[in-house]
Structure 1
Amino acid sequence: MEALQSLVETLNFYIWSFGIPVGGQTIPLVVLALLGAGVFLTLRLGFVQLRRLGHGAAVATGRYDDPDDPGDVSHFQALSTALSATVGIGNIGGVAIAIHWGGPGALFWMWITALLGMATKFAEVTLAQRYRQVEEDEGGNTVAGGPMYYIERGLGPSWRPMALLFAIMLGLTAFLTGNGVQANTVADTIEAVFAIDPAITGAVTAALVAAVILGGIRRIGRVTAVLAPAMALLYVAGASIILVMNAGQILPTLGLVVREAFQPSAGVAGTGVGAILVTMMWGVKRGLFSNEAGQGSAPIAHAAAKTDEPVSEGVVALLEPFIDTIIICTMTALVIVMTGVWTERVSTEVTLGGGDVAWVTATADGGWEPTSEPASVSVEDGTQFDGGLGGGLDGATSGGTGGGTRVAWHDVPVERLYEDEAKSRPFSGVIDPKTGQATAHDGTTHASLWGDAVESGAPLTMLGFQRGLSPLGDFGHYVVLLCVLLFGISTAISWSYYGDRCAHYVLGAKAVLPYRVVFVGMHFMGAVLPLKVAWELGDVMMGIVILPNLIALVLLSPQVAEMTRDYFRRKPWQNP
């Protein structure tokens, strides 16, 4: 596991850190490409995301549906399937992670990603409809579409290698971002509440996912058309109650978000004061993970919509980043910041042999950064120091400035460690990272210790809801727990379709069923991986798959602009 984590961290660093130096910091190439393409398409399409948002809502209601149009699902079912993949763990866990690392200002950059992403999503969905392939296959599907098809058919056969690269990488991304991360967050949240082994949770959710995805896109569409609205309404209702009860704090909190976007004081686990690019990077990464604009995944679902007007599905897709990020992610962030839980330490069982335990060392700017595990960490009366490096309680070690290597939870050091949940017996002894055991001076061994630690991911959002709804009773965390379960399962269901369409493109119809079987297996694997590894592995694949899609969108943008002008000139919804 340590070797996998090291590899993932290395890949994640190069993909999300390689870029252009600016003022002593580096703007990652992936961030530049994503935001740059969004700006270009916004201007090229005349701010279509603002001018045509209302029309997109009208089309999505089914007002203009024609059941005789080619395709597998209605406009609303296509939107529900895509929203099931976008409205989910990114809204609950992703926002919390962005704030944990980048501070409240990360939300601002999520907004920017969403606003620009609306134009990107419009372009990719319109092209997916234009170049989709209609046929029958063994899985009962009649439509196959997505970036791999508009790369090859729109740009020409010579671009097929890039189309294949996209399809392969998105198929792998589906295993991780759209599947493993969902299972991981569900398992992590249920373990935090009920102390159920993640392997058990993973087995149960994998079985539920299998029961749906083996039925193909029609069953997926029927299930998500019910799940997506229900889970979104439940989550939004809970967050809305908290916001209403704290209405006076909304404007000051939004002001804090804007200030922190440009003058960040860093997230709890951030790299220090003033790291604006860190805040921007986490906002963009989690914004992309949440709304998926530019990633090329949602066009695969929208390609199956019943219509012979590509632009009509493009305007429906405009709604996704708006609903997902501008509305739901903002509500999540406001709850987390307004309740103050993002900086709060809570009593936590620190599992030394796994879970979210990490090893960090101090940095010169006052933050903390991950480091390799030490030979041992000595603890006296609950206070730890790096015994493996020869350090002492004064922090004068070679492991880092002001404190050496520390046991951390969610990459933030645990200040004092105890033997018991009541924190009445401070631990004194030695922690051996390799065995995941803590041995007290009296010879007693412990697989876990207790201490006050910060939360991240879905458990942080759960804590915010619990705190925010506490005047009404101690049930807020169960609202998030239920939503995590529904979101995680529905997102995995939708992403299975994205992945099997990629398998269909690369290997043909015979690969669809085997892909779905492996997908279910990867769902279980994702549940038992540490949270950080699961998310970073998903980020690696996501960063790679973005670039081929964005290149195609920019090169095919003249076609999108012409189709858009023609559609709104003809107004086919008025003259069917």
Structure 2
Amino acid sequence: MSFLETLADGIDFLVEFVWGFGIPTGTGNDIPIVVLLLLGAGLFLTLRLGFVQFRRLFHGFAVTTGKYDDPDEPGDIPHFQALTTALSATVGTGNIVGVALAIHYGGPGALLWMWVTAVLGMATKFSEVTLAQYYRDVDIAGDGDEPGWLGTVSGGPMYYIEKGLGSNWTWMAVLSAGLLGITSFLTGNANQANSVTDTLEGYSGLVGLDPFVMSVIVAALVAGLVALVIIGGVTRIGRVTSIIAPVMAAIYVLGGLTILALNIGEVPAAFGSIISDAFNPSSGVAGTGAGIFMLTMIYGVQRGLFSNEAGMGSAPIAHSAAQTDEPVSEGVVALLEPFIDTIIICSITGLVIVVTGVWNDPVPTELDLDGGAHSYRVENEGGIIADENPPTEIKIVNGEPQVQEGAPEFAWNQAVVDSFFVDCTGDCEDYGDLRQPFTGTLNTERSVAIGEDGTEYTSLYGPAVESGAPLTQLAFARGLSPLGDWGGLIVVFSVLLFAISTSISWSYYGDRCAIYLFGEQAVLPYKVAFVTVNFLGGIAPLATVWAVGDIALGLVIIPNLVAIVLLSGKLKEITDSYFERKAWLDNVEPARKAREKRKAEKERQKQENE
């Protein structure tokens, strides 16, 4: 067994351990501990705080507008920039790639579980951010001689675990910081770069480059852009994300809403399939045991967590930098994130994928026989099961694989391919472009196809389903086709901006963890390592990068959720005090004076320029 095969087996084992270990239900399907913790903590906090996500939603919008901002309060950035920094980490490829993966593996019903995760996650996000503000460290830059990229505050789960629970819990604070630091390299970084290269790789032919060479060039450019921003620290990150986040979200949402408007008659049926499949899955196009309720739920919760990050302890790090002396004022801002990210943007993505029918519609595809998207699977009544031991050769006659029922077959994006062709005319836009069925053998050991005349092929063509960003890209291209052939470019543009903005936000999360664990001197080496991993993530196989990210996702929430539940009494005390005092009203006058001062300064500068 090669090193890569051993690595893949190890990753699969860890994914199964983190997301598969659970409590037996008597139905043959266990409920994963991670899922129980995530949904259980969200439900507990929702009840303990009196449905805060519903009662205080509009107050969160009010605080975000800046009407209560006092620039003299401690912190590095205003409420709005703290929200956009956190949103840039949450509104990202999870909204494009994550939703597509959830539906690809779990079917349309996975989207409903993303909604459930988001609604409960709003209470969780409020809780972790409020605690992070309350227990944050202020003036970590000391006497002010340190570089600006260090910032003046630091907060997050490691601080409220240690300060809130006491020194006996320092071990869990260290564990939380370590896991978050690892997650910053993977979920918040490598996954993002991988989504960009996976999306742009399809355009390699247009510029005459080999797909891998194209990936290397794109990965290097993305890593360079990330480096330029993160060297400036949270202040520069806040400025950049306050521009990128609203623009990219607006473009993407407008494109999605246009598709739904063009297909308005299909929307009710789409909602119906999402709801019905959530509890009684019909079937999936990929995934172990597709069509099983628990699988649909797990993928929905997984991708919901990846999308809105509620419970991970990551967003509290960004919100800790907000300028305020009232922790709850930032908590209400934070509860907007799952609402905007999952309830609005992910819903648009999911509905577009379902109404356009692309999620289970095979399209003509070039099949790289040694590419990262290929695998060998067994298709039976229980779904599509992975098989790591395919036969040495698979015979193909007139394009059709000659395999017995229950035997491993060639799969693309984990879905079995049922026919193979030697070539494809044009841009392979429809089945009419596929021609000359292949006859010969597929050598699985050498990853080549050998024709009857002895000709060897490193790639064939055939109808295959898309996954990840290409699936969403196909949905937008098909949905906007009545208006032209530019729909897919919205996804390309969005993935690029989403991924870069997510990476630069996560770099801040990671460097706060580095400060907590190793001190200020660790920040610069961390940033160098972060950019390096960004590049490597861009050229690694899609499935591997996302699987490793899922491992980190499942582990990082455990210490954070345990701490929040244990500190829920203090949390309720802080929350009740804030709303009983109507503490935000104390900032009305300082905020007004600050706005007038900024306005006067702009007028002065305008007059000087004239």
1:421 to 408, 419, 424: 424
Aligned twin of 2:260 = 243
What residue number does 1:233 align with?
250
User: In 1, are the aligned partners of 2:290 and 2:384 still within 8 Å (CA)?
Assistant: no
Match of 2:90 in 1: 86
Contact 1:353–1:433 (8 Å) recurs in 2: no
Per mean C-alpha deviation after superposition, the further-off stretch among 527-536 and 34-43 is: 527-536
AA partner of residue 233 (structure 1): A
CA contact under 8 A between 1:377 and 1:406: conserved in structure 2?
no
Partner of 1:390: none
Structure 1 residues 488, 333: closer, same or farther in 2, change over 3 A? same
Match of 1:169 in 2: 179
**In the TM superposition, what whole-angstrom CA distance separates every residue of 1:342-386 from its partner, at most 9, and x where no partner exists?**
111111111111231111122442x2111114352323235465x
CA distance in 1, matches of 2:8, 2:438: 28
- List aligned pairs for 1:501-512, cutoff 5 A: 501-512=512-523
| 1:368 corresponds to | 384
2:8 maps to which of 5, 8, 12? 5
Q: 1:382 to 1:498 in 2, by over 3 A?
A: farther
Aligned length: 562
Show the counterpart of 1:399. Answer: none
The CA distance in 2 between the partners of 1:119 and 1:518, in whole Å, is 34
Segments of 5+ residues of structure 2 without an aligned counterpart are: 206-210, 426-433, 588-610
The residue aligned with 1:335 is: 352
Q: Deviations over 1:118-168 (max 9, x none)?
A: 000000000000011111154331111100100001100111111111111
Instruction: State whether residues 352 and 436 of structure 1, in contact with CA within 8 Å, keep that contact through their aligned partners in structure 2.
Output: yes
Q: C-alpha distance in 2, partners of 1:42/1:321?
A: 14
RMSD: 1.3
Secondary structure of the 1:360 match is strand
Determine the structure 1 residue equivalent to 2:593. none
Conserved in 1, the CA contact under 8 Å of 2:126 and 2:334? Answer: yes
**Equivalent residue number for residue 277 of structure 1:** 294
* Partner of residue 350 from structure 1, selected from 364, 367, 371: 367
The 3 A distance-change label for structure 1 pair 282 and 124 is: same
Work out the CA distance in 1 between the residues paired with 2:111 and 2:100.
Answer: 10
- 2:605 is aligned to none
Instruction: Tell me the distance in 2 between the aligned counterparts of 1:146 and 1:319.
Output: 18
Q: Which amino acid aligns with 2:527?
A: R
Aligned partners of 1:520 and 1:449: how far apart in 2? Answer: 35
Q: What is the alpha-carbon distance in structure 2 between the residues aligned to residue 476 and residue 377 of structure 1?
A: 40
Counterpart AA for 1:171: G
Corresponding position: 1:296 with 2:300: no
TM superposition shift of 1:441: 2.6
Partner residue of 2:275 out of 258, 282, 287: 258
Does 2:169 match 1:187? no
* TM-score, scaled to structure 1: 0.95
Q: Which of 126, 132, 137 pairs up with 1:122?
A: 126
CA–CA separation in structure 2 for the residues paired with 1:254 and 1:305: 38
Partners of 2:394 and 2:444 within 8 A in 1: no
1:5-44 → structure 2 map (5 Å cutoff): 5-22=8-25, 23-44=27-48
Deviations 1:504-540 (A, max 9, x none): 1111111111111111111111111111111110000
Q: Secondary structure at the match of 2:553?
A: helix
CA-to-partner distance for each residue in 1:223-254, whole Å, 9 max, x for gaps? 11100000000000000111111222222211
1:388 is aligned to: none
Does structure 1 conserve the Cα–Cα contact (< 8 Å) formed by 2:112 and 2:275? yes
Equivalents in 1 of 2:133, 2:195: separation in Å? 33
User: Under a length normalisation based on structure 2, what TM-score does the superposition of the two structures give?
Assistant: 0.90
Q: Is 1:550–2:561 an aligned residue pair?
A: yes
Equivalent residue, structure 1, for 2:570 = 559
Cα deviation for residue 274 of structure 1 reads 4.9
Displacement of 1:428: 2.3
User: What's the % identity of the aligned pairs?
Assistant: 57
Secondary structure of the 1:46 match is: coil
Give matches, 1:88-487, under 5 Å: 88-134=92-138, 135-136=140-141, 138=147, 139-195=149-205, 196=211, 197-272=214-289, 274-365=291-382, 367-383=383-399, 385=401, 393=402, 395-396=403-404, 402-422=405-425, 423-487=434-498
What is the CA–CA distance in structure 2 between the aligned matches of 1:363 and 1:471, rounded to whole Å? Answer: 38
1:421 deviates by 1.9
Q: Distance in 1 between matches of 2:390 and 2:174?
A: 43
1:272–1:548 distance in 2 versus 1, CA, 3 Å: closer
For residues 397 and 378 of structure 2, the distance between their equivalents in structure 1, rounded to whole angstroms, comes to: 20
1:462, CA displacement in angstroms? 0.5
Q: What residue in structure 2 maps to residue 513 of structure 1? A: 524
Per-residue CA distance 1:453-485 (angstroms, 9 max, x = gap): 000111000000001101000110001110000
Code of the residue aligned with 1:112 in structure 2: it is V
* Most deviating of 287-296 and 191-200: 191-200
- How far does the alpha carbon of each residue in 1:182-209 deviate from its partner, in whole angstroms, 9 at most, with x for none? 1111100101234442111111101110
CA distance, structure 2, for counterparts of residue 94 and residue 257 of structure 1: 16
Question: In the alignment, residue 390 of structure 2 is paired with which amino acid?
Answer: P
1:378–1:384 CA contact under 8 A, matched in 2: no
Structure-1 separation of matches of 2:266 and 2:508: 41
Q: What code does the residue aligned with 1:368 have?
A: I
